[in-house]
Amino acid sequence: MADNRRDTDRVPVGIEKGSNDDETIDIFVPPANAEESSPKEDAIHPPDVGILPWLQVLGGFFLMFNGWGIVVAYGTFQTYYTSGGITDEDSPSTIAWIGSVQVFLLTFGAALTGKWFDGGYFRPMIWTGSFLIVFGMMMTSLATKYYQFMLAQGICTGVGMALCLIPAVGMPSVWFVKRRGFATGIVTGGSSVGGIIYPILVHELIPKVGFPWAVRILAFVALGTLSISLAVLRQRLPPRKRGTFIYYQALGEPAFAFYEAGIFVTFLGFFTFYNFVEEWAIATHVDSKGLPLFYILPIVNAASVLGRTIPNYWSDFTGPLNLQAPAILVSGILVLTWLPTRTIGPLMTIAVLYGFFSGTAIALPPASTASMTKDLNTFGGRMGLVFMALGLASLIGSPVTGAIVQGQNGSYDGAKIWAGVTMLAGSVFLGIARMARTGWKLAGKV
């Protein structure tokens, strides 16, 4: 029977139609043989329909729970390590390299694994990544010397997290169209929930069972939650080829170049509050009014749950860059208001607000990058650039913060100024990127 459909009605397998303002764009690249009719085309599950897409959100949530969730909980380990937990090292700057290497490998490694995800290798990625996360935590429980912690916690778990990051954030984009922003927000909220649970477990378990068994229990928690991800995650579209890991040509676009600079400068100071607020509170004997100081970091991460879901929801209506630049500006101001803080009330106010506003720095880059990408065939390569900037800045930021504290004989004021100024500068670059994207007009969804 003749097919009377117009050519414009034909949508090859592997393509989802989306819109960016008034432009029509292709979100996915069709397989090489997409023009040929195949029974497999009819078997592709439709987006946004049924329970299966939401199971992918659940699986991605737990991947983030054990990825970024462990990263933002590192401040608890930093406090323990600088208090004698590492037998041959107590320098805050040197110890901070463990967390920085972990973040660097998570983000930079993720930039290099997107092509594997596109090629249909996501299941080997999450199986290998899950094994490395659990194995690295088990080896951390046996560590006593600095190099052992670096190998186990910094490198092994960092590589494992990198293999799981792209599947975690990529699944909502594959399985959702109408509710993509909201679904991504729920997934990224897993990192904040992990940042609540893991620090509390560490503090509660170390006095009762000791550090080795405390970390082993964390490893069993990771094993159980990652098993859920392994059980429910499914690939929706056929594997597709992508030309490059990193799309360097995007730096020739003024808007994207300024955005890349903004991400880099922002993350030079982003983790200072997360990694050092608890250590600072203990060192300066903050009047806690009976509140255990180790609850500061979980409170920050609890507020960040909302900061990673609500902005993602509203970004579908206002545009992500319109939210991200102002939120980073407020985050920088909040870090500077930390300078005169000496009591628990103002500190908790800053912690809650910083957790909320800084959450956009983790949650919105994929949406912001997409809003600056006309040809989404290059989206993965552009995200690779963003992850590279984020990873390099995170690798540098925390050790610099530790060096400032050490250079000022234990005073944290210089570190606070460093973090606040870098985030303010980052917000300026993000604001310029936003204006460049709209043709220097104040109004516009971008």
Q: Which of 231-235, 266-270, 397-401 has the highest mean pLDDT?
A: 266-270
**442 band by pLDDT with thresholds 50, 70 and 90:** confident
Phi/psi at 25 (5° precision): -135, 155
Residue 46, Cβ density class (10 Å: 0-12 exposed, 13-18 middle, ≥19 buried): exposed
Nearest to 147 by CA among 139, 399, 398, 406: 139
| Neighbour tally for 29: CB within 10 Å | 20
**446 band by pLDDT with thresholds 50, 70 and 90:** confident
Residue with structure tokens 């917000």?
427
If you count them, how many residues does the chain have?
446
What is d(CA 171, CA 332) in angstroms, rounded to the nearest whole number?
A: 31
Q: For position 16, what pLDDT does the model report?
A: 41
Under 8 Å between Cβ of 446 and 371: yes
Under 8 Å between Cβ of 200 and 294: yes
**18 band by pLDDT with thresholds 50, 70 and 90:** very low
Cα–Cα distances (Å) from 29 to 73, 117, 166, 240, 247, in that order, read: 37, 13, 17, 7, 16
Residues 328-341 pLDDT 10s: 999 999 999 999 99
In a domain? residue 310: yes
Number of domains in the chain: 1
H helix and E strand count, the chain: 16, 2
Q: Which residues, in sequence order, are bridge partners of residue 186? A: none
Residues 121-138 pLDDT 10s: 889 999 999 999 999 999
Under 8 Å between Cβ of 318 and 443: no
Q: Which of 241-250, 346-355, 371-380, 389-398 has the highest mean pLDDT?
A: 346-355
| Alpha-carbon torsion (194, 233, 117, 17), positive or negative | negative
Q: For position 36, what pLDDT does the model report?
A: 40
Q: For position 163, what pLDDT does the model report?
A: 93
- pLDDT surpasses 50 at 24: no
Q: At what angle do helices 296-318 and 180-232 cross, to 10 degrees?
A: 120
CA dihedral 324, 352, 180, 129 (to 10 degrees): 100
DSSP state of 177: S
Q: Which residues, in sequence order, are bridge partners of residue 301? A: none
Under 8 Å between Cβ of 160 and 132: yes
Of 359 and 334, more confident: 334
Name the residue range of residue 263's domain.
Answer: 52-437
In a domain? residue 47: no
In a domain? residue 16: no
Q: For position 30, what pLDDT does the model report?
A: 41
Q: For position 19, what pLDDT does the model report?
A: 42
By three-state DSSP, how is residue 253 classified?
coil
In a domain? residue 7: no
Under 8 Å between Cβ of 214 and 205: yes
What is d(CA 47, CA 330) in angstroms, rounded to the nearest whole number?
A: 36
Tokens of 5: 């459909």
Q: For position 229, what pLDDT does the model report?
A: 94
Residues 276-292 pLDDT 10s: 998 899 888 888 888 88
Nearest to 64 by CA among 182, 226, 197: 226
In a domain? residue 31: no
The mean pLDDT value of the chain amounts to 84
What is d(CA 279, CA 95) in angstroms, rounded to the nearest whole number?
A: 13
In a domain? residue 103: yes
What is d(CA 197, CA 161) in angstroms, rounded to the nearest whole number?
A: 18
Q: For position 241, what pLDDT does the model report?
A: 66
| CA 428 to mean position of chain CA atoms | 21
Comparing 95-109, 121-135, 179-193, 373-387, the range with the smallest average pLDDT is 373-387
DSSP E strands: which ranges in 142-286? Answer: none
On whether the pTM is more than 0.95, the answer is: no
CATH number at residue 380: 1.20.1250.20
Of 8 and 158, more confident: 158
Task: Give me the mean pLDDT over the 59-69 stretch.
Answer: 93
- pLDDT surpasses 70 at 248: yes
DSSP state of 25: E
Q: For position 201, what pLDDT does the model report?
A: 93
Cα–Cα distances (Å) from 376 to 167, 173, 381, 435, in that order, read: 18, 12, 10, 21
Residue with structure tokens 């729920």?
186
**376 band by pLDDT with thresholds 50, 70 and 90:** low
Under 8 Å between Cβ of 125 and 66: no
Of 318 and 128, more confident: 128
Q: Which residues contact 120 (CB under 8 A, 6 or more apart)?
A: 235, 238, 239
Considering the chain, what percentage of its residues have pLDDT values greater than 70?
A: 87
Amino acid sitting at position 185: G
DSSP E strands: which ranges in 330-415? Answer: none
